[in-house]
Amino acid sequence: MADVARAAGVSQQTVSRVANGLPNVNEQTRQRVQAAMQELGFRPSYAGRSLRDGRYHSVGLCVNDVTKFGNLSMIDGIASAAREHSCAITLVEMSKTEEFSLAEAT
């Protein structure tokens, strides 16, 4: 985040506001920060965000046989929705032949 702030000539707080889609950032500044983020390949840290606000922002997904077409379509849809809400996904494949409890996945 510091590299983006330096490249855009703004504070890290401003970068944070832009990355989190918060208001009160001048449109030209927002565009400059977004350009710097893209140029530097910046992606928000889900772990850092979780530490900051005490929420995980993640979706746990347990799937039996991810290779089935229906499951792939479902996973793709869930991944798209998660991205729209800035959430990460944890995927656990549950095999039909293995004993596996949901407690192990949490």
Orientation angle between helical segments 12-19 and 27-40, nearest 10 degrees: 90
CATH topology of domain 52-105: Rossmann fold (3.40.50)
61: confidence class by pLDDT, cuts 50, 70, 90? confident
Q: Coil, helix or strand for 95?
A: coil
Neighbours of 3 (CB within 10 A): 14
The CA distance from 100 to 82, in Å, is 25
CATH number of the structural domain 2-44: 1.10.260.40
CA angle 37, 28, 8 (to 5 degrees): 40
Global pTM exceeds 0.85: no
- Tens of pLDDT, residue by residue over 66-103, are 777 778 888 889 999 988 887 888 888 876 555 655 56
Domain boundaries, the chain: 2-44, 52-105
Q: Residue ranges of the alpha helices (H) in 9-90?
A: 12-19, 27-40, 46-53, 69-84
